[in-house]
Amino acid sequence: MSIARKNFLAASALALAVFIGIVAPAQAQNAAAYIVTDSVTGHALLSLNEKKKLQVGSLTKIATAMVVLDWVDLHKADIGQLAVVPPQVVGIEGQNPVGFQPGDRVSLRDLLYAALLQSDNVAAYTLANHVGQSLPASSPRATPVDRFVMQMNALARQLDMRSTLFVNPHGLDANERKLPYSTAADLAKLTRYAMSKPQFRFYVSQKDRRITMLHAGGEQSEYLLQNTNELLGIDAIDGVKTGTTRRAGQCVIISAARTPESKQVGENQFDITPRRLFVVVLGSDARFQLASVLLRNGWAKYEAWAAAGRPLARGERSLQN
């Protein structure tokens, strides 16, 4: 039996237990924080410690990917252009499954796949180094990666992620002078922004992807990436990203959509409302099972909320454009 199938069966059993009142989601699986939000308004349907500052591991790479994609759009740059893996990647710990080496040349497109699907830290650093070379420096000592991280934090401010600090493009937190952090609520905002972009949605929806690298000696090799999101394809889940470090624990963000709601408002006019939920789970010892349960309970909450006219909670403001 596949790992994904085992997780699906475990999640189904847990969802049934929650439904009949045997356990509550927060009790069923330990988690430091979680939130379930509506993609259109940002309304929180379920939450626990959603504003608590925590390490989030490779969920950081969502911000990395969006700075790259925004830069590509702004400059009308070629996503197929080659970036050179810099010498500074030597010694980067954590997930580096592809085995990129200094001097390798890889397209931005394939580096994004490596960073998002299989959470390769060298890929994330190489993206930051390449794009950062074209960004303005705040000081003469700022490296290209420093400039890139500044743009990650600028994006966080733009999205009103007030409790977020990025210190590197990959999310590793073991050897940093200042710890990076974010919150479940802030990451839901980042996810909403990222999933509004067709390019990003396509990347994170892929279960696997074959990428190509050109080595310093001139030879070429390929690598088949496997998406680390074990829930992809279950219950209409089409993204988003996993993350794990010792400090962060197991983290995951998932996204799932249902058929949009259509309501006739005139003789030949219809009001179409997208139906999509985001689930952010931080610091869980069983992230996939909990995320699956929260998604199902989130849909139940959503239906009741939609039937009531989608009222926003006190202090919330709609994220609709």
The burial of 165, by beta-carbon neighbours within 10 Å (0-12 exposed, 13-18 middle, 19 or more buried), is given as middle
Q: Which pLDDT does position 17 carry in this prediction?
A: 44
Which residue intervals of the chain are DSSP H helices? 3-19, 25-28, 60-75, 108-117, 121-132, 144-158, 184-195, 198-204, 287-307
Mean pLDDT of 253-262: 90
The better pLDDT of the pair 7, 190 is held by 190
Question: Angle formed by the axes of helices 3-19 and 287-307, to 10°?
Answer: 50
Mean pLDDT of 115-135: 97
> Where are the domains positioned within the chain?
3-307
Superfamily of domain 3-307: DD-peptidase/beta-lactamase superfamily (3.40.710.10)
CB-CB contact of 240 with 194 (8 Å): yes
- Please write the tens of the pLDDT for every residue from 154-199: 999 999 999 999 999 999 998 878 999 999 999 999 999 999 999 9
- Please write the tens of the pLDDT for every residue from 207-250: 999 999 999 889 999 999 999 999 999 999 999 999 999 999 99
**Confidence band of 22 (pLDDT split at 50, 70, 90):** very low
d(CA 229, CA 142): 34
3-state helix, strand, coil split of the chain in percent (to 5) is: 35, 25, 40
Listed residue (183, 191, 249, 192) closest to 50, CA to CA: 183
Q: Residue 277: beta bridge partners?
A: 38, 256
